[in-house]
Amino acid sequence: MEKVKAKVKEAKKPDVTSAPGVPESVGILREYYITIITCLVLALFVTTFVAHPMSVPTESMVPTILVGDRLIVDKFTLRVDSLIGRKLALGREIKRGDIVVFKFPRNPETPYVKRVIGLPNETITIRKREIFINGQRWEDPYGRYMDPQIELHYRDNHGPITIPPESYFVMGDNRDNSADSRYWGMVPASHIIGRPLFVFWSYADPPYQEIQSQNPVMVYLDRIIHFPTKTRWGRMGRQIK
């Protein structure tokens, strides 16, 4: 008899979700809230561990990467020092010729993009722009030189210098106009974020020095007004290599 009474009481309990005091809109708002939170968590996971966008403000990688290119950076393929990189032995080792995005050693908050020229424990020497690795001349298929002078210290003549373990010697493809390992040293493996995959948007921004002297509001306004004409449509989707 007691069990029957209990069942009768349970049957009489009102359905909270359908109660007059709880409007249907609350349930809809709750669903939207859960969806938004889920999307934010997924976006945070992707940008932290898989891929994230970056903008290129300088000419150091011209002609491979132009000023104003917006890139998608792959943080998964290379075996870097991240939770799902080197520590889990995922991805491949960094090779000579790879383009990498890394935290600038002198200011880790700033991401840089350069090409790997020297690997850990190798000795790098530059003589009149020619690159020697462990004493052997390396045929450089990436470098671009515009300045006829070839006797500038550091830029055109550098080393010999031995790269420490777990570090890399990087250079910009625009050899005459790139602040890289020739000037500020090696990139520790722990600073490497990933590699750029492709251009998802390219806008003909002026060089970094000019943008710095302009009002940020005017810069963004210019991008909105001139979006159709200054967007480099032909570079959209171009693979970086």
- For the segment 24-42, the average pLDDT, to the nearest whole number, is 67
Q: What is the pLDDT of residues 152-166, one digit of tens each?
A: 777 889 889 999 999
* Per-domain residue ranges of the chain: 2-47, 56-235
Q: Which residues contact 136 (CB under 8 A, 6 or more apart)?
A: none
Question: Tokens 């002078």 map to which residue?
Answer: 149
* Residues 131/89, Cβ–Cβ less than 8 Å: no
Between 19 and 107, the higher pLDDT residue: 107
**Residue 214 confidence (pLDDT) above 70:** yes
Percent pLDDT > 70 in the chain is 76
**Residue 23 confidence (pLDDT) above 70:** no
Q: What is the 3-state secondary structure (H, E, C) of the chain?
A: CHHHHHHHHHHHCCCHHHCCCCCHHHHHHHHHHHHHHHHHHHHHHHHHHHEEEEECCCCCCCCCCCCCEEEEEECCCECCCCCCCHHHCCCECCCCCCEEEEEECCEEEEEEEEEEEECCCCEEEEECCEEEECCEEECCCCCECCCCCCCCECCCEEEEEECCCCEEEEECCEHHHCCCHHHHCCEEHHHEEEEEEEEEEEECCCCHHHHHCCCHHHHHHHHHHCHHHHECHHHCCCECC
> Which amino acid is present at 24?
E
Architecture of the 56-235 domain = Ribbon (2.10)
pLDDT of residue 76: 76
**Residue 149 confidence (pLDDT) above 50:** yes
Q: What is the pLDDT of residues 48-87, one digit of tens each?
A: 555 678 899 999 999 999 999 999 998 877 766 554 444 4
pLDDT of residue 48: 53
**Residue 208 confidence (pLDDT) above 90:** no
d(CA 202, CA 179): 22
Q: How confident is the model at residue 33 (pLDDT cuts 50, 70, 90)?
A: low
d(CA 197, CA 183): 27
Q: How confident is the model at residue 150 (pLDDT cuts 50, 70, 90)?
A: low
Per the residue annotation, which of 114, 167, 178, 202 is the catalytic one?
Answer: 114
Task: For residue 13, indicate whether it is catalytic.
Answer: no
pLDDT of residue 4: 43
Q: How confident is the model at residue 215 (pLDDT cuts 50, 70, 90)?
A: confident
Task: For residue 60, indicate whether it is catalytic.
Answer: yes
pLDDT of residue 19: 46
Between 188 and 38, the higher pLDDT residue: 188
Per the residue annotation, which of 60, 82, 167, 181 is the catalytic one?
Answer: 60
pLDDT of residue 59: 93
User: Whole-number mean pLDDT of the chain?
Assistant: 81
Q: Which residues contact 118 (CB under 8 A, 6 or more apart)?
A: 96, 124, 133, 163, 168, 169, 181
d(CA 103, CA 188): 9
